[in-house]
């Protein structure tokens, strides 16, 4: 089922909330029409509808005007902006407006299929995804189009997305395809992964397991290059959680309970005796003890690899257990709405440990040394993010500097002293126990991260409907450290060295007083492509490495901002 997210977005944009009261502000706009797509150009907001054509708002949706002169088809499924040009994909081809929709002109020369589901812009290149003839490219603002389908084995293209030099195409039934050369050739990036909604990840030696929503468990033995379904006798395919205990692999499912595999997923056996609730959201291993957190049934304990289970809920006043974590002899449970509970006796009894925890919907837990982290649910009403406890949950402190406001934290991963979080806004890294966070999302086209896992030198991220992604830890964990003890008198940003460079270069900067410092990299079109620094910095001289191995040759700009200080310099990547 294809969910039209533009409808949801426009609904919220065109309403205001005041203690539960909604006010409709569609004016003469898209009311009564299905809103298929949205686009922003400067202060102008455009809405493409199914049957009403295109509407323009210049006041953030307070009022709308139809802008359809010359638009011969009112069914608009996609919109894209390229400079001062606005493109509309319809059931009869592509239309171009150079005057904010005041008038439209058909630009279809070379298109062999005029049912346009998707549009995307990458520099001077405009891509159009069609219902059955694949993808077309125009390099001249739509005056002419050329099919660019080499390697595209599914030509019903529902969506297009651009990330740096990568163009991704989402197809109807064929998964995702990637082009790194502006459509000259395409490659499927779904090898073996028949379900792309990845809820859980687990690592056992060189094996990586992915638990999906509806597709069961998949195994990769080559760092995610290819995947194989391993579902024989797996009686439920909604896999919320995975856990490894020695040579045993456990899968917690939605409605089917827990399954055990002793042969890396080649076959599974249900192990549910005594498990009175089969919606298993979390699993944790502590020595020979296996714990299962369920939705509605609380926590269950097995001391015999799942052969039998016993409910261990005394003192647990909320039985919707989303997350579990073990720290020494302490077991922690994160619940829905009631915060964190601690058991020091393998679940025999529980105590609430929530002092300072201002959000009690705890979706994820992680232990790093003596620190306990809780990831919470975030929304416009509930302030989400990460909390830290250094005293086994006796007290908590929010640690969200650098995280997106009110984000939901679905997952954690630990690598040495480094902590990663998977959120609704991508992956973030903290090298200082959550004091500050930096986004590490370069190349990640889907930023709803359900699960994280470290395997060897790589971090793996399981996304919402976009499969598993891999990134080397070395790309993200670059030493950003003070290079001498002479405190500077002024802010400064030095020219990178070497310059030109391939693929790494060093950037030095100075901070005379404590405060938030950001250093971001932009392409020649002004689009942000990487965040190098986003942290509170003490006075000192620092350097940071920029690794551009995933970027195309060309001119880039890097900008430092600290308080009122802003400086931009140019760097040149030559490969």
Q: Annotate 182-216 with three-state secondary structure.
A: CCCCCEECCCCCCCCCEEEEEEECCEEEEEEECCC
- Whether cis (ω within 30° of 0) applies to the bond prior to 198 is no
514-573 per-position pLDDT tens digit: 888 899 999 888 888 888 888 777 788 888 888 887 788 899 999 999 988 999 999 989
Mean pLDDT of the region 49-72: 87
Six-digit token string for 248? 């045993």
Evaluate if residue 13 carries a pLDDT over 70. Answer: no
pLDDT at 17 (0 to 100): 30
DSSP H or E segment with residue 81: strand 76-82
**Residue recorded with tokens 């197809």:** 171
Evaluate if residue 273 carries a pLDDT over 90. Answer: yes
At a CB cut-off of 8 Å and minimum separation 6, what does 72 contact?
A: 92, 106
Six-digit token string for 227? 């995947």
- Other beta carbons within 10 Å of 78: 24
The answer to whether residues 101 and 71 touch, using CB atoms and an 8 Å cutoff, is no
Q: Convert 489-514 to b/e letters by CB count within 10 Å (16 or more is b).
A: eebebeebeeeebeeebbbebbbbee
Rg (CA), the chain: 26
Task: Give the residues across from 361 on adjacent strands.
Answer: 336
The answer to whether residues 275 and 292 touch, using CB atoms and an 8 Å cutoff, is yes
- Closest to 466 (Cα-Cα) out of 78, 222, 178: 178
- 30 versus 346: which is more confidently predicted? 346
Measure CA of the first residue to CA of the last residue in the chain; give whole Å: 42
At a CB cut-off of 8 Å and minimum separation 6, what does 319 contact?
A: 277, 294, 296, 297, 298, 313, 335
Q: What is the pTM of this model?
A: 0.54
CA distance 544 to 535: 12
CA distance 399 to 410: 16
The answer to whether residues 144 and 109 touch, using CB atoms and an 8 Å cutoff, is yes
- 76 versus 539: which is more confidently predicted? 76
CA distance 344 to 354: 16
- Closest to 418 (Cα-Cα) out of 366, 352, 468: 366
Evaluate if residue 194 carries a pLDDT over 80. Answer: no
DSSP symbol at 115? -
pLDDT band at 127 (very low <50, low <70, confident <90, very high): very high
Mean pLDDT of the region 237-259: 89
pLDDT band at 31 (very low <50, low <70, confident <90, very high): very low
């Amino acid at each position: 089922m294809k969910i039209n997210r533009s409808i949801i977005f426009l609904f919220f944009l065109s309403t205001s909330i005041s203690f539960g009261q909604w006010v409709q502000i569609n004016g003469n706009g898209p009311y009564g029409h299905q809103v298929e797509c949205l686009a922003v150009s400067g202060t102008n907001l455009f809405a493409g509808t199914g049957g009403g054509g295109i509407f323009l708002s210049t006041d953030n949706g307070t009022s709308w005007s139809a802008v359809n002169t010359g638009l011969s088809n009112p069914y608009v499924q996609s919109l894209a902006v390229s400079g001062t040009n606005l493109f509309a994909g319809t059931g009869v081809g592509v239309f171009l407006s150079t005057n904010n929709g005041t008038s439209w002109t058909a630009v279809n020369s070379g298109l062999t299929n005029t049912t346009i589901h998707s549009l995307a812009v990458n520099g001077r290149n405009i891509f159009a995804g069609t219902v059955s003839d694949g993808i077309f490219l125009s390099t001249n603002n739509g005056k002419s189009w050329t099919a660019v389908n080499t390697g595209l084995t599914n030509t019903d293209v529902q969506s297009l997305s651009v990330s740096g030099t990568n163009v991704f195409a989402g197809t109807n039934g064929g998964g995702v395809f990637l082009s790194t050369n502006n459509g000259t050739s395409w490659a499927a990036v779904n090898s073996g992964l028949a379900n792309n909604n990845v809820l859980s990840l687990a690592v056992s030696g060189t094996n990586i397991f992915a638990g999906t929503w509806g597709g069961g468990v998949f195994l990769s033995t080559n760092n995610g290059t290819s995947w194989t379904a391993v579902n024989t006798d797996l009686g439920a395919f909604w896999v919320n959680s995975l856990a490894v205990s020695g040579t045993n692999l456990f899968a917690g499912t939605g409605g089917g309970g827990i399954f055990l595999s002793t042969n890396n997923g080649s076959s599974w056996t249900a192990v549910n005796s005594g498990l009175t609730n089969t919606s298993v959201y979390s699993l944790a291993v502590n020595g020979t003890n296996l714990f299962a957190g369920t939705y509605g049934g609380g926590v269950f304990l097995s001391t015999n690899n799942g052969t039998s289970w016993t409910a261990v809920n005394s003192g647990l006043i909320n039985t919707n257990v989303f997350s579990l974590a073990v720290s020494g002899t302490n077991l922690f449970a994160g619940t829905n709405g009631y915060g964190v509970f601690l058991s020091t006796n393998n679940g025999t009894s529980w105590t609430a440990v929530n002092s300072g925890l201002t959000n009690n919907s705890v979706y994820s837990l992680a232990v790093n040394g003596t620190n306990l982290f809780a990831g919470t649910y975030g929304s416009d009403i509930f302030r989400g993010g990460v909390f830290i406890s250094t005293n086994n949950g006796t007290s908590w402190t929010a640690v969200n500097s650098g995280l997106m406001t009110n984000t939901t934290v679905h997952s954690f991963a630990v690598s040495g002293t480094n902590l990663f979080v998977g959120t609704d806004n991508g992956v973030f890294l903290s090298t200082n126990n959550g004091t500050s966070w930096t986004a590490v999302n370069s190349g990640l086209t889907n930023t709803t991260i359900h699960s994280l896992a470290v395997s060897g030198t790589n971090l793996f991220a399981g996304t919402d409907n976009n499969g598993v992604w891999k990134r080397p830890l070395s790309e993200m964990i670059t030493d950003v450290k003070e290079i001498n003890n002479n405190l500077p008198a002024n802010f400064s940003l030095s020219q990178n060295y070497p310059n030109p460079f391939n693929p790494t270069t060093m950037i030095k900067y100075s901070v005379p007083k404590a405060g938030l410092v950001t250093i971001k990299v932009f392409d020649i079109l002004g689009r942000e492509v990487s965040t190098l620094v986003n942290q509170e910095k003490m006075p000192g001289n620092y350097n940071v490495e920029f690794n551009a191995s995933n970027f195309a040759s060309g001119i880039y700009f890097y900008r430092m901002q600290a308080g009122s200080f802003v400086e931009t310099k140019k760097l040149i990547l030559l490969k």
